[in-house]
Structure 1
Amino acid sequence: MTDSRLPPPGTVVRRTTARVLPVRPDGKVLLLHGWDPLRPNTPYWFTIGGGVEAGETVTQAASRELREEVGILLPAESLGEPVATNTIEFEWGGCQIVQHQTFFAVGVDGVEVSFANQEELELATISDHGWWHSDELEATGQAAHVTIPGLLRQAVSALELRRAS
């Protein structure tokens, strides 16, 4: 699969992303199931989020990505302070990605997930959503990156601390 929005293979893409970890009261976190367009037979679970666009704050991008990717409407100001940041490197679509990520944790109850606002490339590379405890995800070996189970733990802990204060 090729997409005109993908840079040529071999390109190094440096990007800043905003990512959101919606957490249910039972401590499960919403993740997306998808794959690299060049490796459709190797799916994985990954966090909701995407690139920060020109003129956007990281918080505004997180709110927009949450709406676009899973149909959850939360104003940027309700996301609170980030719970984690990191920089990871990985290959996707034949490109080397260097991605600085800012993570927000949000408590949610009964949300209905919708892929209706996803872009064409997302629709072509995302098949499902699921709610995960960090230990269960870790046991599958299907997290997109080794840091994701720990980020799930951080999100749950951050929300517990917010509720306690």
Structure 2
Amino acid sequence: MAEAPETGGTPRRAARVILLDERDRVLLLHGFEPADPSETWWFTPGGGLEGDEGWEEAARRELAEETGITEIELGPLLWRRTCSFPFDGRRWDQEEHYYLARTRQTAVWTGGGTELERRSVTGLRWWTCGELLATHETVYPSRLAELLGTLLRDGPPKAPVRLETERA
């Protein structure tokens, strides 16, 4: 995760990945608020664009840094979302692009990433759509189970879908 601007500035641009394995399970990371480790959630791999990096390039780099997975077939842009949330003592405003990717590679948590990621991510897990629908844990984006179900049933949208803004 790169530094994020405070509220009112230009939103941080973040590329995120909906990574599916051969069994159509999606890979999510488990994170927590550094000031309150009891506040946890699951989220998709990805993070901020660096320098003049493009969205797809950032998606590949972030996925490799956060999961160790480099053997992927990067697919189309699925969704766009604007979000704003408190984390690590400040407000983060983001414009997110979600890319579909597939892999046969087994995930191995590398423990890599930024210092903030090392302080706030505990691991990762492959989830089925059914498990996402049944969980009471917090998952971002909040409609991921429904979105994944639609993706698996209908395939990628013909044009990227604008998701509702999420503000925590």
Q: What's the CA shift string for 1:32-51, capped at 9, x where partnerless? A: 00112122111111110000
Q: Name the counterpart of 1:88.
A: 83
Report the TM-score, using the length of structure 1 for normalisation: 0.79
Amino acid aligned to 1:147: R
In structure 2, the residue matched to 1:146 is 142
Matches within 5 A, 1:2-151: 11-12=6-7, 14-74=11-71, 78-142=73-137, 143-151=139-147
Q: Which moved more, 1:98-107 or 1:131-140?
A: 131-140
Give the Cα separation in 2 of the matches to 1:92 and 1:43. 11
CA distance 1:47–1:154, shift in 2 (3 Å): farther
RMSD between superposed Cα atoms in Å: 2.6
Write 1 or 2 for the structure with the bigger share of helix: 1
Are 2:141 and 1:156 equivalent residues in the alignment?
no
CA distance in 1, matches of 2:89, 2:133: 26
TM-score, normalising length: structure 2: 0.78
62-71 vs 97-106, which moves further: 97-106
Structure 1 SS opposite 2:77:
coil
SS where residue 25 of structure 1 aligns?
A: coil
Distance 1:23 1:30 in 2: 7
Q: Runs of 5+ in structure 1 lacking a partner?
A: none
Task: Identify the structure with the greater strand proportion.
Answer: 2
CA distance in 2, matches of 1:83, 1:31: 17
